[in-house]
C-alpha cells in the first residue's frame, strides 16, 4: 500500500510538471486574413480605390475610433473636460493587453485616457471611457451603434469599446473610411491628437502604434488594429500639397506588410489627385467649409458629405415631387437650431419616426419637420430633422430623444 501511495504521488507530480510547461506562444499574425481596402479623397469623399471595401470582417482596435468619436462629442458638448477624472473599475482593469495596467479604484484624467487610447491603443482606458460616459460598456456599445447608424456605417456592429475579439463585432473597410472621415471633418480640434507620437504616463513612455507617423510623407493619423481573426488593420490619413487622402486596409498578413500596403495606397490616391511630388514645399490644407456648425454632435449636413460620396454613385439624385414631401416648404433658418433623429430607407419610415418622436417628446410636439433625401450606398436615405428651435431646446432635447430609443444630433444652422 505504501508503494502504491508513493507511485500515485509520483504520477501526480509528473502531471503537475506537464501542466507547468509554458504553452506555445500565440502567433502574432493571421495566416489567412480577409483582405479589403479603400482610398478616398477626404475633401470630396470620392472613392479613389476599392478592393472588397464592403466585405465583412472584424474591426479590432479600429473600434476605438468610435470610442474616441463619442469622447470628442462629450468634450465638444462640455459634458466633460480634459481634466475630468474617471474612476477605474474592476472590469476595466481586467481587460487584456494592450493596456496601461490601470488598477481598480485608480483615477485617470480624460486627457490621459484619450492619449492612452490613441497611442498605445489601451484596452483598459477604452473601457474606463465607456463606463465613465455611459455607466457601463454595454450601454456605451449601444451608443456606438446608434452613432454608427447615423453616420451611414450600414455594415458595422459594435459589441465593446476596445475591439477585443467578439464574434458579433463586425465592419467593412468602407465603414471605417466613413468613420475616419467623420473624425476629421466633425472634430478638427481633436483630430490633431492623432499626430501624437509618444505619450508619457506614470513615468513610462508609450509610442504610437501607427508607424507611418514621421516615416511616410504627410501622414498625421489615424488608428491601427490587430486580432487574429482580422489580421492587421490600419486607417491612415495624409495631406500633401493641400490635398488629403484616407486609406484603409483590413486584413494585412503582418504589420510590415500592412504598413507597406497602406503606404502604396496613399501614393495611389495622391497620384489620382495629381499630387506626385512628395518632397515639394508643403501647401497649407484647406478644410471644406461646413454648412452646419458642429454643436451637440456631428452636423448632419457634414454627415451627408461623409456617406454619399463614399457610396461612389454617379447617378444624380432624382428630384422629389412637392406632393411627396408635405413639409418640404419648411426651411431651416440660419442662426436657428435643430436636431436630426435618424436617416431611414424610406420616406414613409422617416415620417413615421417624426410623428412618433413628436408624440413621445413634448418639447418637439409643435416643432417643424424637414425630411431630406440623400444619396447612399444602398440608393437613398431620408434624414428626419426638427428645425428652427431655440438653442436651449435643441441642446437639451436630444437626451430625451435618445431615452426613447432614437438617435439624435443637435446643430446650429449657419449660412
- Which 3-state string (H, E, C) describes 307-376? HHHHCCCCCCCCCCCHHHCCCCCCCCCCCCEEEEEEEECCHHHHHHHHHHHHHHCHHHCCCEEEEEEEEE
Closest CA to 35 of 210, 261, 237: 261
Residue from 30, 121, 150, 241 carrying the catalytic annotation: 121
Phi, psi for residue 133 in degrees, rounded to 5: -90, -30
Closest CA to 209 of 173, 249, 255: 255
Q: What is the pLDDT of residue 328?
A: 41
CB 308 within 8 A of CB 374: yes
Domains located in the chain, CATH noted: 36-272 (3.40.710.10), 292-413 (3.30.70.1070)
Using alpha carbons only, what angle is made at residue 32 by residues 248 and 148, rounded to the nearest 5 degrees? 35
Q: What 3-state class would DSSP assign to 386?
A: strand
Cα atoms in the 13 Å half-sphere on the side-chain side of 239: 17
| Integer Cα distance of 118 and 199 in angstroms | 9
Q: What is the pLDDT of residue 245?
A: 97
Q: What 3-state class would DSSP assign to 260?
A: helix
Closest CA to 251 of 52, 407, 17, 1: 52
Determine how β-strand 198-201 pairs with β-strand 107-109. Answer: unpaired
Q: What is the pLDDT of residue 27?
A: 44
Residue from 64, 99, 223, 243 carrying the catalytic annotation: 64
* CA gyration radius, the chain: 24
Q: What is the pLDDT of residue 68?
A: 98
To the query of whether residue 64 is one of the catalytic residues in this protein, the response is yes
To the query of whether residue 121 is one of the catalytic residues in this protein, the response is yes
Q: What is the pLDDT of residue 281?
A: 38
Residues of the chain falling short of pLDDT 70:
1-31, 277-330, 332, 334-335, 375-379, 399, 402-403, 405, 407, 413-415
Residue from 36, 61, 162, 230 carrying the catalytic annotation: 61
Burial class (CB in 10 A: 0-12, 13-18, 19+), 260: middle
C-alpha cell at 306: 461623409
pTM over 0.85: no
Q: What is the pLDDT of residue 306?
A: 45
Q: What is the pLDDT of residue 392?
A: 80
| Integer Cα distance of 352 and 98 in angstroms | 45
Amino acid at each position: 500500500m505504501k508503494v502504491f501511495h508513493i507511485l500515485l504521488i509520483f504520477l501526480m507530480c509528473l502531471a503537475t510538471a506537464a501542466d507547468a510547461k509554458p504553452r506555445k506562444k500565440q502567433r502574432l499574425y493571421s495566416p489567412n486574413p480577409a483582405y479589403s481596402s479603400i482610398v478616398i479623397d477626404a475633401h470630396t469623399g470620392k472613392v479613389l480605390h476599392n478592393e472588397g471595401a464592403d466585405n465583412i470582417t472584424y474591426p479590432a482596435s479600429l473600434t476605438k475610433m468610435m470610442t474616441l468619436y463619442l469622447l470628442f462629442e462629450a468634450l465638444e458638448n462640455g459634458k466633460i473636460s480634459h481634466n475630468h477624472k474617471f474612476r477605474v473599475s474592476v472590469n476595466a482593469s481586467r481587460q487584456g493587453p494592450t493596456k496601461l495596467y490601470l488598477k481598480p479604484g485608480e483615477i485617470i484624467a480624460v486627457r490621459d485616457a484619450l492619449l492612452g487610447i490613441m497611442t498605445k491603443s489601451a484596452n483598459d482606458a477604452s473601457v474606463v471611457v465607456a463606463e465613465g460616459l455611459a455607466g457601463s460598456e454595454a450601454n456605451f456599445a449601444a451608443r456606438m451603434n446608434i452613432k454608427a447608424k447615423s453616420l451611414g456605417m450600414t455594415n458595422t456592429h459594435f459589441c465593446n469599446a476596445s475591439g477585443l475579439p467578439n464574434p458579433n463585432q463586425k465592419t467593412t473597410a468602407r465603414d471605417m473610411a466613413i468613420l475616419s472621415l467623420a473624425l476629421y471633418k466633425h472634430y478638427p480640434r481633436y483630430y490633431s491628437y492623432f499626430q501624437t507620437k509618444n505619450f508619457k504616463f506614470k513615468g513610462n513612455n508609450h509610442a504610437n502604434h501607427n508607424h507611418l507617423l514621421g516615416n511616410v510623407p504627410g501622414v498625421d493619423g489615424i488608428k491601427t488594429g490587430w486580432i487574429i481573426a482580422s489580421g492587421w488593420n490600419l486607417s491612415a490619413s495624409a495631406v500633401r500639397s493641400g490635398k488629403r487622402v484616407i486609406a484603409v486596409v483590413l486584413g494585412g498578413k503582418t504589420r510590415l506588410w500592412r504598413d507597406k500596403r497602406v503606404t502604396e495606397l496613399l501614393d495611389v490616391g495622391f497620384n489620382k489627385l495629381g499630387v506626385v511630388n512628395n518632397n515639394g514645399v508643403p501647401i497649407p490644407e484647406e478644410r471644406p467649409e461646413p454648412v452646419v456648425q458642429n454643436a451637440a454632435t456631428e452636423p448632419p449636413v457634414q454627415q451627408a458629405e461623409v456617406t454619399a460620396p463614399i457610396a461612389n454613385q454617379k447617378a444624380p439624385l432624382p428630384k422629389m415631387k412637392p406632393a411627396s414631401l408635405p413639409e418640404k416648404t419648411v426651411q431651416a433658418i440660419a442662426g436657428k437650431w435643430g436636431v436630426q433623429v435618424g436617416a431611414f430607407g424610406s420616406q414613409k419610415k422617416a415620417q413615421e419616426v417624426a410623428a412618433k418622436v413628436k408624440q413621445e417628446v413634448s418639447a418637439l410636439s409643435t416643432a417643424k419637420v424637414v425630411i431630406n433625401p440623400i444619396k447612399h450606398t444602398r440608393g437613398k436615405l431620408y434624414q428626419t430633422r426638427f428645425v428652427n428651435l431655440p438653442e436651449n431646446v435643441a441642446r437639451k432635447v436630444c437626451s430625451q430623444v435618445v431615452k426613447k430609443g432614437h438617435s439624435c444630433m443637435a446643430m446650429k444652422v449657419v449660412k
